Amino acid sequence: MSNTIKFMRVFFLTALIAGCMLFQSASPAQGQTATWYLRNSNVAGTWKGESICVGKRTACTNEVVVYRFESVPERTGVFTLFADKVIEGKRVPMYKQEIQVDERSAILTAAPASSPLHGYWEYTIRATGEGISGTFHLASDKTIARRMQMKRVEANRVPAAPERELYAGL
């Protein structure tokens, strides 16, 4: 092999490695992207999607859901979640709970004391911020009972939100 070919191989390999290193340092890691989104955008807003039953649970039905996240004043990373299901074109309140955001993992969890259910929800914001995935775990054995997928929507694209007073007893 000629010296020119050897030189070209080494040159191109070095350039490829340098390019990869430059690209990696310029683009954030997956967790950093989610953290960037949480800091530079707002979880607050309206999200719509599906909540699907997992396993054989006779009392469980698949639902179209609309979630409304509202910032809690003076408490960074804390939101109030108003969760509704859509029945016959109307939003029906299911529950209200306080949600804490872990900026490092982009995971939202309900404070156990505020959970009205016999279990807990855990939500993950996709790194690009376009969607939220969630799972509901039963408190008794921590098995997953529901999976949920939602996308951000404009509030005028879903049925009108129920009055806040309807969540008081939930």
**pLDDT, position 160:** 96
Q: Which residue has the higher pLDDT, 29 or 58?
A: 58
The pLDDT tens digits for 10-57 are: 444 444 444 444 333 333 444 444 554 454 456 889 999 999 999 888
CA distance 21 to 153: 37
Kindly report, residue by residue over 66-103, the tens digit of the pLDDT.
999 998 888 888 889 999 999 999 999 998 988 888 87
Sequence-separated contacts (24+) of 64-69 with Cβ below 8 Å: 65/94, 65/148, 65/150, 66/91, 66/153, 66/158, 66/159, 66/161, 67/132, 67/150, 68/155, 68/161, 69/43, 69/44, 69/45, 69/99
CA–CA gap between residue 56 and residue 145 (Å, rounded)? 9
Measured between alpha carbons, how far is 76 from 68 in angstroms, rounded to an integer? Answer: 17
Structural domain 35-167, CATH architecture: Beta Barrel (2.40)
- When mean pLDDT is compared across 9-13, 61-65, 103-107, 128-132, the lowest value belongs to 9-13
Residue 40 host element (H or E)? helix 30-40
pLDDT at 68: 94
Query: What are the tokens at 49?
Result: 């999607």
More confident residue, 157 or 6: 157
pLDDT of residue 36: 45
- pLDDT score of 122: 87
pLDDT band at 120 (very low <50, low <70, confident <90, very high): confident
Q: What is the pLDDT of residue 24?
A: 39
